Amino acid sequence: MSTPWRSGNRARLLENGEEYFPAVFKAIRSARHEVIVETFIVFEDKVGLELHAALIEAARRGARVDVLVDGFGSSDLTPAFKASLAEAGVRLRSFDPAARILGIRTNVLRRMHRKLIVVDGVVAFAGGINFSADHLNDYGPEAKQDYAVELEGPIVQDIHHYVTAAIRPSPDRDGPAPVPVPSPPAGPAEALLVVRDNDRHRDDIERHYRAAIRSARSQVIIANAYFFPGYRLLRQLRRAARRGVDVHLILQGEPDMPIVKTAAELLYEPLQRDGVHVHEYCKRPLHGKVAVIDGYWSTVGSSNLDPLSLALNLEANVIVRDRDFAECLRGRLQYLIDHECRPARVPPRSRWSFWPQLRSAVVFHFLRHFSTWADYLPRHAPKLQVARPSPLLRGGPDIGGRGEVESMEGARGR
């Protein structure tokens, strides 16, 4: 996916489920022609059930509704949940599902991790928020901190084109899809859709990060849930700090997976030695994948800065060049730094301890070459499994979960 910068866009930052879900559900409930949803996770909790109801309402009003979920992240959707969607006319597809072996999910690598939504070709959403109740404050201490962006303007056409190709990889037998009217200018922001796949755009997101950090002159703030980037990105961060740029990283202090913090801690010492400020967000698990540079360049999306997102998963970020949007995001992140983070500290080490030096050397070479060895990890041409109404169950999908299979060749998913 390669698109030019689009000017004339409106970008609105949405923080956590309290801002994101009402905006998305409002857009879906007002849809007249088309709803397209791509998401890693849908759970059958209060958020997933509200999405379910909104999609059915839109389909019954006559809108074409397409949904793509990941076969790993959304593997527990029940037959009843899928049946009611299919009966209403919602076209539900699952990205590369696989049967469990001894109750264990084995389809871990190369997942569809994007979170993109387009309604009527006029409004789009992108970010890191899944359709699950753990993105709401009332979920408790494990509620996630995360971000998304609502977009209007010409960038919506690029997102629509991309998700349409991904979600409808074969000729559609259900009639032509609605053709969105070109979006008129809606605001002052320039925007760019950047994706990562396992074909022609393997490092696009990382390249845009590196280029923005390399050109930074005053400040870099990155908030990222799973931080274990490649050597070249780390090098740009350290170089920026050495030339006087105020570089801040907001990472997990209360991680949802302990190994996340353990891995990131291996990088603290070399980063801090060159002047990078590392902050651990401690209020709850951090799930965000955002950055703001020089009060002008911002990105919001699904891509973490770790080997899974940078070398394996299918990801999508939106980059925005707009001072008002950047200042809004910078203010939200600065609040986290000032009120909900603690400075990351490297444990003192013995002068005669060789283990830290050995460990750092191993990590250095792992990071330096991970994008190369990632190509050798298992891969195959992924499939989309379609939930179709079964003749044995009125309006229900294939009860065995097999559905109908479509090739993903047109989606650049390999």
**Comparison of pLDDT for 172 and 414, the residue scoring more:** 172
* Range in 15-19, 262-266, 342-346 with the lowest mean pLDDT: 262-266
Give the C-alpha separation, 391 to 398, whole Å: 9
Confidence tier at 179 by pLDDT (50, 70, 90)? confident
Q: Given 45, 203, 256, 294, which residue is catalytic?
A: 294
**Catalytic annotation on 294?**
yes
Give the C-alpha separation, 367 to 352, whole Å: 26
Residue with the two structure tokens 């990632």: 374
Give pLDDT, residue 87.
96
CATH class of the 6-187+380-411 domain in this structure: alpha beta
Which residues, 6+ apart, have CB-to-CB distance to 244 below 8 Å? none
Return the amino acid letter for 144.
K
**Catalytic annotation on 113?**
yes
pLDDT exceeds 50 at position 397: no
Average the pLDDT over 93-112 and give the result.
Answer: 83
Contact in structure between 397 and 387 (CB atoms under 8 Å): yes
Give pLDDT, residue 258.
76
Contact in structure between 154 and 8 (CB atoms under 8 Å): yes
Return the percentage of the chain with pLDDT > 70, whole number. 86
Three-class DSSP labels, the chain: CCCCCEEEEEEEEEEHHHHHHHHHHHHHHCCCCEEEEEECCECCCHHHHHHHHHHHHHHHCCCEEEEEEECCCCCCCCHHHHHHHHHHCCEEEEECCCCCECCECCCCCCCECCCEEEECCCEEEEECCCECHHHCHHHCCCCCECEEEEEECCHHHHHHHHHHHHHCCCCCCCCCCCCCCCCCCCCCEEEEEEEECCCCCCCHHHHHHHHHHHCCCCEEEEEECCECCCHHHHHHHHHHHHCCCEEEEEEECCCCCHHHHHHHHHHHHHHHHCCCEEEEECCCCECCEEEEECCCEEEEECCCECHHHHHCCEEEEEEEECHHHHHHHHHHHHHHHHHCEEECCCCCCCCCCCHHHHHHHHHHHHHHHHHHHHHHCCCCCCEEEEECCECCECCCCCCCCCCEEEECHHHCCC
pLDDT exceeds 50 at position 107: yes
Q: Given 33, 144, 289, 383, which residue is catalytic?
A: 289
pLDDT exceeds 60 at position 102: yes
Which residues, 6+ apart, have CB-to-CB distance to 258 below 8 Å? none
**Catalytic annotation on 45?**
no
Give the dihedral sign, CA 114/384/67/121. Answer: positive
Q: Given 33, 52, 82, 115, which residue is catalytic?
A: 115
> Is the pTM higher than 0.75?
yes
pLDDT in tens, 292-317: 999 999 999 999 999 889 989 999 99
Q: Given 120, 146, 322, 398, which residue is catalytic?
A: 120
Domain limits of the chain? Answer: 6-187+380-411, 196-375
Give the C-alpha separation, 398 to 50, whole Å: 23
Give the C-alpha separation, 345 to 253, whole Å: 11
pLDDT in tens, 37-58: 999 999 999 999 999 999 999 9
Cross-strand partners of 223 = 250, 290
Average the pLDDT over 370-385 and give the result.
Answer: 76
**Catalytic annotation on 261?**
no
Q: Given 66, 287, 306, 383, which residue is catalytic?
A: 287
Contact in structure between 300 and 330 (CB atoms under 8 Å): no
**Comparison of pLDDT for 302 and 266, the residue scoring more:** 302
Domain 196-375 is found in CATH 3.30.870.10? yes
Give pLDDT, residue 108.
79
**Catalytic annotation on 338?**
no
Q: Given 52, 113, 248, 277, which residue is catalytic?
A: 113
Mean pLDDT taken over the chain: 88
**The two domains 6-187+380-411 and 196-375 share their CATH topology (first three levels equal):** yes
Residue with the two structure tokens 């970008």: 11
Give the C-alpha separation, 198 to 226, whole Å: 20
